[in-house]
Chain A
């Protein structure tokens, strides 16, 4: 690479911060697709615009979208966790046992979140203490946590939840606005504020963009990574509370494969798999998009598995697009 260029005028760029430039490009694109799909759905079904239909549609994605928020933080910090679906199953099973033992709803919820914290902590220790690459570590715990769920209840079902437990996954806060949707909106706002306006958020970006430089700048890289793993675990526990409450029962196969859907949501939202780049707005939009597409397809009576093609295709398509568009810019200096 050339280094004689101090006398050469550097390339002029716009004076807007780089995050905003990128944000405008990617998030606008997503936003337009969301609107387009919304309009399409309106055409497909006359009932689509009813508040209650929209509310129903939101249940398709809120639990996964809630998990996508901390997953976004983790991927921005340069790590990944594919054990989240298994964490949910393990949390759900223990919640079921606690409920079966006669404890009330608060205790059940606490159990779910504590199990999640515990699972996230294990992943965090594997990555930051034992230095196992996170994808390998969480492949291991994916089997381990799911395995524990199976080991505890086999092919049984746990469903001795108290009636008030149903509120989290089935309740409405106001009119057709569900508890899950409100929770997602609130968490999205909190995550957006933390990531984009605080010192913590800035450090997370720095860790993902260049962990070595971040460490040398006095950032406790390992501590940050550990606590993001714990946070993701806790939120997975929370998502497990929502899902278990919505389904009203626990099976060990609950939330199988969700990890890939959550990660797809995050990457589609414009978070770079290499870390250090992305925004919560993008994740929220991609969650909305996936939710709307799912619902649109269900209006057409297309089975859920076909959605997999659409999500997978979207993921590759948009990343390929950004790779081709950004290609010249990224490689220019080498």
Chain B
């Protein structure tokens, strides 16, 4: 007799995290009603949009059992390049800027991806290296100088701020990226194959899915999004310099992990990542409102991240049963 399948199914991670996020929002609002004023929310969404975009890109890489530490450096380099482009060709309009940002980001991602796919270097080593290289290149292309708002054209700066239905273009782009990523992962063959490749590389091989190619694709997507985010970042803060978004890659990975993306691949989704990003964003924006010194922000978010990864690891263990003799990861 075939065993009856288990009937108990826990709530999806996204629901629990979403409720927690709402609870957090509610608590902060009850204590400090002025947190929920429109201006504050707008800036929260703007701040979080960048984090969410980068985290969605990072998620692609995590899904295929890799990690991309170079996203922030990629954003800084691309941001600097488009800022310099704008300074030299102030009349070029927004379209070339967006194209350059996306193409260049994708190219930087492709470089990572090819090293992982063709040369078979572990992704953490590759991106540890390119993190330094890309960051150093920002200095090389800029000569160490800052590109200030004075050197940027009005369209370059105002594009991200332009409100549509009361919400800035920056936030709309963040939303668009998340929606496209969701559609891509849900409805395209490549998107589904990303999950399959990360979930069981061995079985993926049998099903004719090239795992290395999928990893490379993930890096290209992550790079393209990072490039776009680079322009948005530089335009939003109206300045480009070498240390833009320095260390931000860790927050990006944290948003993914909190959002339920498994570091061991194949599990996670856009919805979770978006909520994970919002969760971190709310904490970051609520602290000053609640009256906690900005210097406590990092400690609190560090604490939250640490707790979240413990819980995430716990639920992972529960789902996968206790494995005493964990199999060594099959090298694909």
What is A's interface to B at a CB cutoff of 8 Å?
Answer: 80, 82, 126, 130-133, 135-137, 139-148, 150-151, 153-155, 210-212, 216, 252, 256-257, 260, 263-264, 267, 273-274, 303, 305-313, 315-316, 319-320, 323-324, 327
Instruction: Assess the B132–A154 pair: CB atoms within 8 A.
Output: no
CB < 8 Å neighbour of A133 from B140, B264, B305: B264
Complex A-B: 20 CB contacts under 8 Å: A132-B313, A133-B263, A143-B251, A143-B299, A144-B306, A150-B299, A151-B296, A260-B69, A264-B128, A305-B135, A305-B136, A305-B139, A306-B139, A306-B140, A308-B136, A315-B125, A316-B129, A316-B133, A319-B125, A319-B129
Instruction: Assess the A150–B133 pair: CB atoms within 8 A.
Output: no
Choose, from B114-122, B158-166, B179-187, the stretch at the interface.
B114-122
Residue in B69, B295, B300, B303 whose Cβ sees the most chain A Cβ within 10 Å: B295
Give every chain B residue within 8 A of A257 (Cβ-Cβ).
246-247
Give every chain B residue within 8 A of A131 (Cβ-Cβ).
313, 317
Give every chain B residue within 8 A of A144 (Cβ-Cβ).
299, 302-303, 305-306
In chain B, positions 212-266 with a C-beta closer than 8 Å to chain A are: 242, 246-247, 250-251, 253-254, 257, 263-264
Nearest 6 pairs between A and B by C-beta?
A147-B299, A312-B132, A143-B302, A144-B302, A309-B136, A147-B298
| B175 CB within 8 Å of chain A | no
Instruction: Assess the A212–B326 pair: CB atoms within 8 A.
Output: yes
Instruction: Assess the B309–A132 pair: CB atoms within 8 A.
Output: yes
| B150 CB within 8 Å of chain A | no
Instruction: Assess the B121–A148 pair: CB atoms within 8 A.
Output: no
| B325 CB within 8 Å of chain A | yes
- Chain B: minimal CB distance from A81 (Å): 13
Residue in B250, B293, B300, B308 whose Cβ sees the most chain A Cβ within 10 Å: B250
Given A141-B306, A309-B140, 8 additional A-B pairs, CB 8 A: A130-B314, A135-B263, A137-B309, A143-B299, A150-B299, A211-B326, A256-B247, A312-B136
In chain B, positions 273-303 with a C-beta closer than 8 Å to chain A are: 293, 295-303
| B41 CB within 8 Å of chain A | no
Give every chain A residue within 8 A of B108 (Cβ-Cβ).
none
Give every chain A residue within 8 A of B140 (Cβ-Cβ).
306, 309
What is B's interface to A at a CB cutoff of 8 Å?
Answer: 67, 69, 115, 119-122, 124-126, 128-133, 135-137, 139-140, 144, 242, 246-247, 250-251, 253-254, 257, 263-264, 293, 295-303, 305-306, 308-310, 312-314, 317, 325-328
Q: Assuming A139-B250, A316-B130, A324-B119, is B136 touching A306 (CB within 8 A)?
A: yes
Give the complex CA separation of A72 and B312 in angstroms.
28
- B253: nearest residue on chain A (CB-CB)? A139
Instruction: Assess the A315–B128 pair: CB atoms within 8 A.
Output: yes
Give the complex CA separation of A130 and B309 in angstroms.
9
Give the complex CA separation of A306 and B140 in angstroms.
7
Give the complex CA separation of A145 and B295 in angstroms.
12
- Chain A: minimal CB distance from B272 (Å): 15
Instruction: Assess the B115–A320 pair: CB atoms within 8 A.
Output: yes
Give every chain B residue within 8 A of A142 (Cβ-Cβ).
250, 302
- Chain B: minimal CB distance from A199 (Å): 23
Instruction: Assess the A143–B119 pair: CB atoms within 8 A.
Output: no
The total number of A-B Cβ pairs within 8 Å is: 164
Instruction: Assess the B135–A140 pair: CB atoms within 8 A.
Output: no
- Chain B: minimal CB distance from A175 (Å): 35
- A212: nearest residue on chain B (CB-CB)? B325
Give every chain A residue within 8 A of B254 (Cβ-Cβ).
139-140, 143
Give the complex CA separation of A173 and B144 in angstroms.
38
Give the complex CA separation of A57 and B211 in angstroms.
45
Give the complex CA separation of A144 and B307 in angstroms.
10
Instruction: Assess the A136–B257 pair: CB atoms within 8 A.
Output: yes
Instruction: Assess the A264–B132 pair: CB atoms within 8 A.
Output: yes
Give the complex CA separation of A4 and B312 in angstroms.
44
- A141: nearest residue on chain B (CB-CB)? B306
CB < 8 Å neighbour of B129 from A130, A135, A313: A313
- Chain B: minimal CB distance from A161 (Å): 22
Give the complex CA separation of A177 and B310 in angstroms.
46
Give the complex CA separation of A153 and B293 in angstroms.
11
Q: Assuming A136-B263, A212-B328, A274-B122, is B302 touching A146 (CB within 8 A)?
A: yes
- Chain A: minimal CB distance from B151 (Å): 21
Q: Assuming A273-B125, A319-B125, is B301 touching A143 (CB within 8 A)?
A: yes
Give every chain B residue within 8 A of A252 (Cβ-Cβ).
295
Give the complex CA separation of A274 and B246 in angstroms.
27
Instruction: Assess the A143–B305 pair: CB atoms within 8 A.
Output: yes
